[in-house]
Structure 1
Amino acid sequence: MAIRRLLLLLKPFDAYPVSQSDGLSRITNPQLQHLDNRQKVHKDAINFCQNILRRKPVEWKALVRNNLSQPIRDVDLVITVGGDGTLLQASHFIDDSVPVLGVNSDPTRPEEVEKHNNEFDATRSTGYLCAATVDNFEQILDNIIKDRIIPSNLTRISIGVNSQVVSTYALNDILIAHPCPATLSRFSFKIKSNGQSCSPLVNCRSSGLRISTAAGATAAMLSAGGFPMSILSQDLQYMVREPISSGAASSLMHGFIKSHQSMEATWFCTQGIIYIDGSHVRCSIKNGDRIDISSTAPVLKVFLPHRVQNISRL
């Protein structure tokens, strides 16, 4: 894989309000010092990556992720500098032909978390899908340029509404719910294989339906009681959120959609939203709409960290 042209996609700097009286408090308040330090660490990571790229035999340009509005084409590699959120946002503009390398610009420092545990949450970026930090960025980049490592294929979710395919794919998960997710939702679903039902029809009253990929199984799905999955699995995992009176169908409230299967859901509320990888990408649905979910979307090619690759082999 010849790497000649790169896109460096950057997480924007977080804006923390500062008043004129904050000068002294930022010196004495550990939490404000922590926020200031996070800004500096992220900025330093961006400058570090840019300086490395200036020394490499490649063409590259930098773009803040908020300015990304068109599909990413005509590049051989996308490098995201931020965390999983930046890589996730990039994935909505990438097909299966352009690989991605995530750089965690602000990794969590265990000693810092322990030090401030009784004062505030000092956790920084998780970077679960980010293979690089400033400590190993140049080494990993050289390995990519010299074809020493290859990306992994991560499954994404394909979504159709009334037989019309939604133009973006989910790398982590989707949530089908009312525009106010605390509102009761009514829907039904069944699992299909080769166009035929292979599960009973399940009628639900709940706060929504979540479907995750293997990559997303460690996020909201796991927090809700789901199961971790091998990151290279092509199966999907689903869970009905907070079901009401599931009764005999309780065993069907949580399960898997195998790679050769799909899920067909029907929405029975006046309003609804399909939230795709969080709240920023969404698709509106209405009463009677049919939603088809499967893992037939184009994969996303990602250079994964060794710790994640090792888990996938278990």
Structure 2
Amino acid sequence: MRIDKALVVYNKPLYQLHVLEQKDPHYIGLLKKKHPTTRLWRAVHAMHQETLEGVQRTLELLGIETDTVFRGQLKKIGNYDLVVTVGGDGTFLDISHILGNQVLLGVNSAPIDSTGALCRARVGDFLTVLVELIAGKRRPQWIPRLQVKVNGKAVAPPVLNEVLFANQSSAGTARYRVLIGKTAEEQKSSGIWIAAPTGSTAAIRSAGGKPMPLTKPAMQYVVRELFPEPGKRFRIRKGILPKGKKLTIYSRMRQGALFIDGNKISVPLNFGDKVEISADGKPLRAVL
């Protein structure tokens, strides 16, 4: 792979954002009181800064022209061969939503506080990963993503991890009619997880799903906490649907919602809205 120009997109840890920059009295107060939730703040900040600087030095060492931007200021991505995220899975997911055909590579900037399941590199092996990419010993993969439509219109960018169909209130019951092919059921539950292959090891796995190969063109669904009704036998509980097949849901709630790749993208649903989800989203070119 030829890499002439790269974009580095970084996040800001809580300590940097709320203490050093915003000087928020609430967060400063927690830090002064040595609140247990602040235990790792300084260490995470130091590790993050070290990673960001290490990534920049490595790209410079290899002669790659590089731009660097904070993820909160990035609106669109220009002409780059490689986009490197420095942060955790949240940063990787955010950037995947606005990426074109560029290759995406995640660097976990603070492993002591971040899972980084989507981040292939850390600062210690970033150079090795880059050299392997340039030499052709490692190749980007095309990763399947989900397509989400409401009433026939796309309402979100291609989904890399998962979609949660649920009540807008986490304590509320989800009421809906669900269809797969000719099978249709009316259900009450805590909602439905629908995951792409990369999301199959996350929340849906905790709900009873199973891991899928990263490049498998398919999606998985799991109904959460299905309400048992006397005399009813439910067939749509969990399963895997290949590309080309869709899961259709009719909302029977006035305050339903779709939560996409976490909680930053949400789509409100009214009573009667038709949701269609499939594994037909534009695939992502990434190093995983």
TM-score between the two structures when normalised by the length of structure 1: 0.82
Q: Are 2:86 and 1:102 aligned?
A: no
Counterpart in the other structure of 1:307: none
2:133 is equivalent to residue 144 of structure 1:
yes
* Residues 268-279 of structure 1 mapped to structure 2, 5 A cutoff: 268-279=252-263
What are the residue-to-residue correspondences of 1:1-314 with 2, within 5 Å?
A: 1-14=1-14, 15=18, 17-19=27-29, 22=32, 32-70=38-76, 72-95=77-100, 97-108=101-112, 124-192=113-181, 197=182, 200-245=183-228, 248-304=232-288
* 1:92 to partner: Cα distance: 0.6
Distance 1:30 1:167 in 2: 37
Distance 1:290 1:89 in 2: 26
Contact 1:144–1:150, Cα closer than 8 Å, also in 2: yes
**1-structure distance, mates of 2:37, 2:164:** 33
Task: Output the CA distance in 2 between the equivalents of 1:246 and 1:280.
Answer: 34
Shift of 1:250: 3.5
Conserved? CA contact 1:178–1:185, under 8 Å: yes
Other structure's SS at 1:175 match: strand
Deviation at 1:277, TM superposition (A): 0.4
Equivalents in 1 of 2:4, 2:229: separation in Å?
Answer: 55
Shift in alpha-carbon separation, 1:32–1:287, aligned structure 2, 3 A: closer
Q: Helix, strand or coil for the counterpart of 2:145?
A: coil
Q: Check the 8 A contact 1:12/1:66 in 2, yes or no.
A: no
Comparing 176-185 with 213-222, greater Cα deviation is found at 176-185
Number of residues of Structure 1 aligned to a counterpart in Structure 2: 277
Judging changes above 3 Å, is the alpha-carbon distance between structure 1 residues 173 and 92 closer, same or farther for their aligned structure 2 residues?
same
**What is the CA–CA distance in structure 2 between the aligned matches of 1:32 and 1:272, rounded to whole Å?**
35
More strand by share: 2
Aligned-partner Cα distance in 1 for 2:68–2:141: 24
Which stretches in structure 1 are left out of the alignment for 5+ residues? 109-123, 305-314
Confirm or deny: 8 A CA contact 1:205 1:243 kept in the other structure: yes
Query: Are the aligned partners of 1:181 and 1:208 in contact in 2 as well (CA < 8 Å)?
Result: no
Q: TM-score, normalised by structure 2?
A: 0.89
| Unmatched 5+ stretches in structure 2 | 20-26
Cα distance change of structure 1 residues 263 and 35 upon mapping to structure 2, 3 Å threshold: same
* Closer, same or farther: CA 233–279 of 1 in aligned 2, 3 Å: same
Deviation at 1:7, TM superposition (A): 1.0
How many angstroms does 1:275 deviate by? 0.7
Quick one: which amino acid aligns to residue 78 of structure 1? V
Shift of 1:57: 2.0
Residue aligning to 2:23: none
